[in-house]
Amino acid sequence: MSTKNVLYKRQIQKCLYFESELSCSDISVLTEKSLPIATRAVNELMEEGAVVESGYASSTGGRRPQMYSLKSKLMYIVSVAMDQLVTRIAILDMHNNYVLDPLKIELPLANNVNALDSLIKHINNYISEAGIAKGMIAGVGIGMPGFVDVRKGINHSFLKTEKGSSIVSKLEAKLDVPVFIDNDSSLIALAELKFGAAKNKKNVMVINVGWGIGLGMVVNGELFRGYNGFAGEFSHIPLFTNNKMCSCGKSGCLETETSLFVVTEKALKGLKEGRVSMLKNLSLAHAEDSSRAIMDAAIKGDKFAIELLSEAGYNIGRGIAILIHLLNPELIVLSGRGSVGGRIWLAPIQQAINEHCIPKIAEYTDVKISSLGYEAEIIGAAALVMDHFDSPEKQKRKTAEAEVEI
């Protein structure tokens, strides 16, 4: 079988992964091939056991078309979601179902020279635990904080490698599967674009509330990364004159009044000063559990917790007002770890938009909480792998394997 035909069938599998199910006519349109070519390729994929019939489309009058979907266990994706403190590893099938429970490990990235080796060890052990052969893995997708240069496969902030080598090349050498990396906020936006609130939208700003305030930008229906991939450093807009040092080394950044670290710090200070609250046993040493406890308390109606999130939300809204003036998006999506706080964020963010935006510019911009929530980065890392599934440059080895099998 020709490489061209193998890659075309990979393109079909990619389309089916993102759309769940399609007719041959749908596939013809999406792949820009004639209906006979698309139908023949689908039939071949069915014979190979890669694609299955999934019923008929809803009736719109006339004959209902046959729909097709990927076999769920056709192959698997290793998805890695990293932040500055915690790394989550999952293996997903072609329907984005977990193969086994995700693994969560404490893996601090700052000043940790062993972080990359530790990550490799945990990924390999997790794959072994799942009992999945490396040949059944489409790839490993990794979302990580910091200045990630996707083209060079390096992170200028964390996971430093020997001079002249890349994170991707080292991971591929040790894992023996294709590896793809990207900034965590970009992958959260990719998840929203492919499976979440931004699907079928053209211009959307996806806010990643976590230890910083990240931003993934969907512009004209595609992820916008800027000249060298560093666009979206929303966290470091100089919005305040508070003389607070930011993690970037500057002062007064948006992050210094809005991150979940800051929210936890303010909670500890308030409790020490005698604020009444259901919050107990908070600690910066356990920032993940503490920030989650604050959001859970706010959802339950704890007045102090609501005040903490409202203050942070208002300041995030001030930053969003700048985005609205610059980019005129149709939708703002609050996603990532902080979206666990749910609707508590909406009122203060909207208040800030009302106060700081020109009404005519802001009146058509909606603000929503992500339905993907904290799983967005896991889903986005998986989507990253499948987004490159039909790439001839990255998939030479996999294509060669497919040709041998056929």
Model-wide pTM > 0.75: yes
Half-sphere exposure in the Cβ direction for 303 (13 Å, CA) = 3
Assess contact for 297 and 305: CB atoms under 8 A. Answer: yes
Tens-digit pLDDT profile for residues 54-105: 998 876 667 889 999 999 999 999 999 999 999 999 999 999 999 999 999 9
Instruction: Name all domains of the chain by residue range, CATH numbers in brackets.
Output: 3-70 (1.10.10.10), 76-187+378-405 (3.30.420.40), 197-371 (3.30.420.40)
pLDDT at 64: 87
Rounded to 10 degrees, the C-alpha dihedral 343/345/349/351 comes to 70
Contacts 24+ apart (CB under 8 A), 23-31: 23/57, 23/65, 23/66, 23/67, 23/68, 24/65, 24/66, 24/68, 25/65, 27/68
Longest pairwise C-alpha distance within the chain:
73
pLDDT tens track for 332-387: 999 999 999 999 999 999 999 999 999 999 999 999 999 999 999 999 999 999 99
CA dist 403 → 37, 134, 136, 397, 406 (Å): 19, 17, 15, 10, 5
pLDDT at 394: 56
**What pLDDT was estimated at residue 61?**
67
> Which ranges of the chain have pLDDT less than 70?
1, 59-61, 164, 393-406
Work out the mean pLDDT of the chain and round it to a whole number: 92
Spatial separation of the C-alpha atoms in residues 250 and 284, rounded to whole Å: 22
Amino acid 185: pLDDT: 95
How far are the Cα atoms of 6, 92, 152, 177, 380 from residue 395, in angstroms, in the given order? Answer: 11, 19, 17, 10, 19
Q: What is the pLDDT of residue 1?
A: 60
Please, what is the end-to-end C-alpha distance for the chain in angstroms? 7
Tell the residue number behind the tokens 């976590």, with chain if given. 210
* pLDDT 10s digits, 321-333: 999 999 999 999 9
